[in-house]
Amino acid sequence: MANHMDAERISALLDEPWADRDCRAHLETCSDCQAEFERLSRMRMALSALPDEKAPAGQWAAIEAALDAGETRGGIRWIERGFGGRLFVPGPLQAAAALVLFVGGVIAGLQFTGGSVGNPPGTAGDLPAVVSTADDRALVDGLSRMESLRSPLRQVGEGGADAASEGGSSARDPLETAQRLARLEGLIRALRDRLATNPDDPLASAYLLELVETRDRLAEDLGRASGTRTW
Amino acid sequence: MDERDLIACAKAGERSAMGELYELHARRVYTVIRRLVGDDHLAEDLSQEAWIRAFEKLHLFRGDAAFGTWLYRLATNVALNRLRRSSKRRPVESAAELPRVARAHDDVIVTRRVLTQALDQLPPGYRRVLVLHDVEGWTHNDIAEALGCSPGTSKSQLHKARARMRKLIAPEDSGNGGARGEARL
């Protein structure tokens, strides 16, 4: 190997010195590449030794304020940050909550005025019939989609993330956990496909995170149960 | 009061115990997120979000794993999720647009500050793999699982990220081949 190695190949050699015999042989005879190898090696060591940074001043007060404000389990959060008093509302949660509130209001209004809704809130059922504008229909469509996204997780594990939480599955049969993991993988793939075609879908994006977290917890539990470390 | 007691009290809603848990882990949570997102203000928002989520989900933590492991994973997920969402809206960076951050001359030992600056200037895709592997010590399998890619892609991204870091730190002596200077890290 007459030419010098590029940094990417040297980097690969850093992690897997046995993998590329030609490069290793070149390294032994080329002082320039040897020096580059040592520089990359030092960079890697320096990165691994970077000290932690200081947490933002006043952050705990902001967190306490958010906790005090009431909210929570999966709802809208109002967070005061520092002295700026900034409002922070996660987009997907905001959208989901808005949908629920809107449709709930429509149904309550109909019941109050003598109208009828055949299906309970959250199902596609009669809902499109009770709205008139394009925006309303979009909201109801969103709610229906949210429900269609959530229902598979209920089937995978009762209560979704709660069932997959620590302690939720370790007492279960490992085989059952493995089967649930496999089904979760399928759902995750399906959601990723959905996001590939519609990357700005906030509901799919938020739900993908929930699924991935659930999957990770199940994998952890399964690893503990089988005595192997998955994470 | 040890950490296990603090967690028990925090689960019961005791605010002072939550505060002590925060004091114990705040730096690490912020640092992990800060390095992944490369931005102070975003890191501040996301670390706050991570803590609120952690307290919301604390009742799910049984204590088999270390609390820190559970918490840092949660914080990492918060940051990765945000990066995933924002990367869909951001145009792809090109090497030509990459700013130079460090003036690491041949005989200068690069400081931590320069390393941190260079990390911040990496494209997000490179940065998250480099941070997770070289800073946080994740394996390629773990990274691949978290990012939804293959371990091979994670390796490839890592090597490109390191090469880019070298250019950022000492651009004048990190060319492909040719005489290289003696910049030291």
- The domain defined by B96-185 carries CATH number 1.10.10.10: yes
A106 min Cα distance to partner chain B (Å): 30
pLDDT of residue A183: 77
Distance from CA of A2 to the nearest CA of B (A): 10
Count of alpha carbons within 13 angstroms of residue A21, beta-carbon side: 0
- Rounded to whole angstroms, the Cα distance separating B143 from B128 reads 9
Residue B79: pLDDT above 90?
A: yes
Residue B15 and residue A66: Cα distance in Å, rounded? 12
Flag whether residue B44 sits within 8 Å of chain A, measured between CB atoms: yes
* Surface of B (101-140) touching A: CB under 8 A: 110, 112, 115-116, 119, 130, 134-135, 137
* Residue partners of B42: CB distance under 8 A and separation at least 6: B82
Task: State both tokens at B166.
Answer: 């070298």
Average pLDDT over residues B30-51: 95
Q: Which of A15, A55, A166 sits opposite B61 (nearest CB)?
A: A166
Does the beta-carbon distance from B30 to A54 stay under 8 Å? yes
Residue spans per domain, chain A: 8-39, 58-89, 94-156, 158-231
> Which chain A residues have a beta carbon less than 8 Å from that of B120?
none
Residue A70 dihedral angles phi and psi, to the nearest 5°: 110, -60
pLDDT tens-place string over residues B95-107? 444 444 444 444 3
Closest-CA residue of B relative to A196 is B88
A171 touches chain B (CB under 8 A): no
pLDDT, one tens digit per residue, over B3-25 is 999 999 999 999 999 999 999 99
Q: Which of A12, A50, A224 sits opposite B64 (nearest CB)?
A: A224
> Hey, is B184 helix, strand or coil?
strand
What per-residue confidence (pLDDT) applies to A216?
A: 74
pLDDT at B166 over 80: yes
- Listed by start position, the domains of chain B span 1-90, 96-185
The pLDDT score that the predictor gives to residue B84 is 84
Query: What are the beta bridge partners of residue B184?
Result: B109
Instruction: Tell me what pLDDT residue A72 has.
Output: 45
Please give the residue of chain B at the shortest CA–CA distance from A10: B159
More confidently predicted of B72 and B65: B72
CATH number assigned to the domain with residue range B1-90, chosen from the 4 options 1.10.150.120, 1.25.40.10, 1.20.200.10, 1.10.1740.10: 1.10.1740.10
- H/E element, A49: none
Task: Tell me if B184 and A48 make a contact (CB, 8 A cut-off).
Answer: no
pLDDT along chain A (231 residues), means of 10: 79 84 85 89 88 92 86 41 40 56 57 43 35 47 57 47 38 68 78 71 69 75 57 36
pLDDT score for A142: 56
